[in-house]
Each structure stands twice: as C-alpha cells, then as structure tokens.
Amino acid sequence: MEERTIQVDLCSTKKEKPKSDQLQFGKVFTDHMFIMDYSDPLGWHDARIVPYQPITIDPSAMIFHYGQSVFEGLKAYLSPEGEAQLFRPEKNMQRLNRSNDRLCIPPIDEEFALQAIKELVALERDWIPASEGTSLYIRPFVISTEPYIGVAPSRHYKFIIILSPVGAYYAEGINPVKIAVENHYVRTVKGGTGEAKTGGNYAASLKAQEMVANTGYAQVLWLDGVEKKYIEEVGSMNVFFKINGEVVTPALNGSILEGVTRNSVIQLLKHWNIPVAERRVSMEEIYQAGKDGLLEEAFGTGTAAVISPIGQLTWNDEHLYVNDGNTGTVAKRLYDTLTGIQYGKEKDPFGWIEQVEEVSRVK
C-alpha cells in the first residue's frame, strides 16, 4: 500500500523572491521541497513537505558512484485569472516511471507523485512569477542512496521535488539558432539509456556541447550512434523539419527521449491538417532538401524553450541556411498556440491543462 498523506513542516522565515524581470534559469529555489524515501522492504514512505534545505547522504551512497538516478522537468503557469496550472503533468509522471524502470528504480505511484507536485505548487503559489513568459519550473528527481559501493540496483532511494521560478526563455522574442551536426560524439545508442531521462545522458553530452559552444553554435544535432546517418535530437530537445509541405520528426527508436512537447506538437499539426510523419530522417535527406530549396523549417521542441527555431545547420563544414535564418510560420504558430494554452490565454481543445488549486481543494 502506498502512503497517501503528506506531512507538512513549514519554514519559519520566507526567502525574498527575485524580481520577475531578473529571473534566470534554475538558480533560485522556493521555500519548501517535497521528499519521500524508499527502502526495501518498506517501499515508498514518509512523504513530506519540508523547508528547502541541503540533504545529508552517506559518501558511499550509490548515486555518487554509479549514477542511478532519473529526473523530470515541467512547469506551473499562472493564468490571467491567477490560477496556477500544469500542462499534461500525467505524461511526465508516466515518463518518470518509464525512466525508473530502465534504471532499475522502483516505480512511484503516478497519481500520488502528481498530488505531491500539486500540493507543493499550491503551497508555493506566490512563487509563480506573473510577468509574460515566466513560470515556476518543477524538478522531480530520484536518487539512489544506499550506502554500498557494490554494483547492483540500490535498495534505498529518495524522491525529491524542488521548484525554481524561471524567466522568459526568449527575452528578445524567439530567434533562430545555429546548430552544428555532431559527427564524432553520440548522446546515446539504441539499447542504451537514451529514452530514459537520466543524468548520465547529460553527462555524456557535455563534451560535444562544449566544443561547439566555443565556435559559436548554440547546440549540436545528434546523429544515431551506430551509422551516424540518422537524426535523433537537437541538444536536449526533440527535432522537427518541414520539407516541401510535410513536417517530419525522427520516429521513437529506443534512443530518442519522448518529449511531452514533441507529442503535443504532433497532435496540434494533425489537428490543423498539416501533414506530419514520424520516421527515420537522415542527415543526407535534410542536406539534399536544403540544396533543392525544399527545407522550409527546422526547430527543436522541449518544455524549457517550447519551440526553438533552427536558422543554420553546419555539417562537415558546409552551412545550410533554413528559411533565410528566420522563424518559420509553423514554428511560430506552434509556439503561440502551445504557450497560449499553457498560460490559459487560448482554448484547450485537448484537455491538456490541469488546475493546481481546484484539484487540491476537492481532495
């Protein structure tokens, strides 16, 4: 039986909140956090909201040695009526458990995890910034805490949720970025951990990212780890191309992370009767489409930036310019619609929005 109640220990003094026009990404955290422990054979227990604080873990805890961990990322948005709302949070909870399964971490009750998010966000509601484009970033994560340096799945874990007010991703409007196609390093490989949201994938990606950042590129375009022919993702986002009227995105293949934004973009395109296909996309095909003048748009998708247009792709020292370096009409429409729904300024035809306070009130 999963525990259903959350103990609450409130902080005695509240921190000063940053001004909403001075917010950066992920540097400031709210007054409280959620923690729940796992141990064998007790299962998940001791769910609690406590003042935000450092945690004490044994130096031999398995997380420090073999990296058994997963995380999620979603946001709480403030609607014009002042309601705190979440965007498809159940998808993040489902993915959390898919990641857990891949990393041999015991599953977490998805409804309870979502309840924990809602209770924490409701408590920290005043931390949701109100300026245009700002939000409260929600970072749930699991770490392995058993003090043991043998290689095996840990028998102790902590599930923690922290919250961080974040600024508008595009302070000067959405601008296309320069991307370098990565021919040497790979992010992951089919059969690896690419479809799990785990820290190791990010550790593996830093080297390539750092090398291109030094030469003026925003991100790398990752190719498949076997043939280095097929496109997988861009930076830590999923990627889409519009070629001759059709939108294509790499099909999920075991190494691509299934983004909630990716899924939402596909649904919106279908709703608008814009042809969209999930299939293998080779770099050669994109290059040829560019040469033939048929590459109309390219963009990344993810919770942080929502839609990030690609204005230039560099592959083997050849530069391909997409839409003359401008944001495409489909990318713009997707950005406006998704953010419109997320901030409660547009109709929500798919039932993607979940109110935070309403739901915790009926409980």
Q: What does the binding site for ligand PLP look like in residue numbers (CB under 6 A)?
A: 73, 197, 233, 236-238, 257, 259-262, 301-303
Nearer CB in complex with ligand PLP: 44/255: 255
Number of H helices, E strands in the chain: 8, 18
**225 φ/ψ sector (left φ>0, alpha ψ -120 to 50, else beta):** alpha
Measured in whole angstroms, the distance separating CA 229 from the mean position of its chain's CA atoms is 25
- Nearest residue to ligand PLP on Cβ basis: 259
In whole angstroms, give the CA distance from residue 76 to residue 83.
Answer: 10
Please state, in angstroms and rounded to a whole number, the distance separating the CA atoms of residues 266 and 258: 12
Token pair for residue 253? Answer: 């293949």
**DSSP bridge partners of 61:** 147
For ligand PLP, the closer CB: 200 or 325: 200
Q: How far is the CB of 232 from ligand PLP (least distance, A)?
A: 9
Contact (Cβ atoms closer than 8 angstroms) between residue 202 and residue 196: no
> Are the beta carbons of 108 and 96 closer than 8 angstroms?
yes
Shortest CB 203 distance to ligand PLP, Å: 12
Closest to ligand PLP by CB, 32 or 262 = 262
DSSP code per residue over 164-192? EEE--S-TTS---EEEEE-SS--S--TTS
C-beta of 156 vs 264, nearer to ligand PLP: 264
* Residue 157: CB minimum distance to ligand PLP, A: 20
**Shortest Cβ 100–ligand PLP spacing (Å):** 15
| Minimal distance, residue 73 CB to ligand PLP, in Å | 6
Query: In 10 A of CB 271, how many CB atoms?
Result: 11
Closest approach, Cβ 111 to ligand PLP, in A, equals 19
Q: How far is the CB of 169 from ligand PLP (least distance, A)?
A: 12
Q: Nearest approach, Cβ of 130 to ligand PLP (angstroms)?
A: 23
Give whichever of 129 and 259 is closer to ligand PLP, judged by the CB atom.
259
Nearer residue to ligand PLP within complex by CB, 154 or 236: 236
Q: Which is nearer to ligand PLP, 49 or 117 (CB)?
A: 117
Q: Looking at beta carbons only, is 47 or 93 nearer to ligand PLP? A: 93
Radius of gyration, alpha carbons of the chain = 21
3-state secondary structure of 218: coil
Q: Work out how close the CB of 354 gets to ligand PLP at its nearest, in angstroms, rounded to a whole number.
A: 15
Q: In terms of CB distance, is 209 or 238 closer to ligand PLP?
A: 238
Which stretches does DSSP call E strand in the chain?
Answer: 7-8, 32-39, 43-51, 69-71, 74-78, 84-87, 135-144, 156-166, 177-181, 219-223, 231-234, 238-243, 246-250, 276-279, 295-302, 306-315, 318-321, 353-355
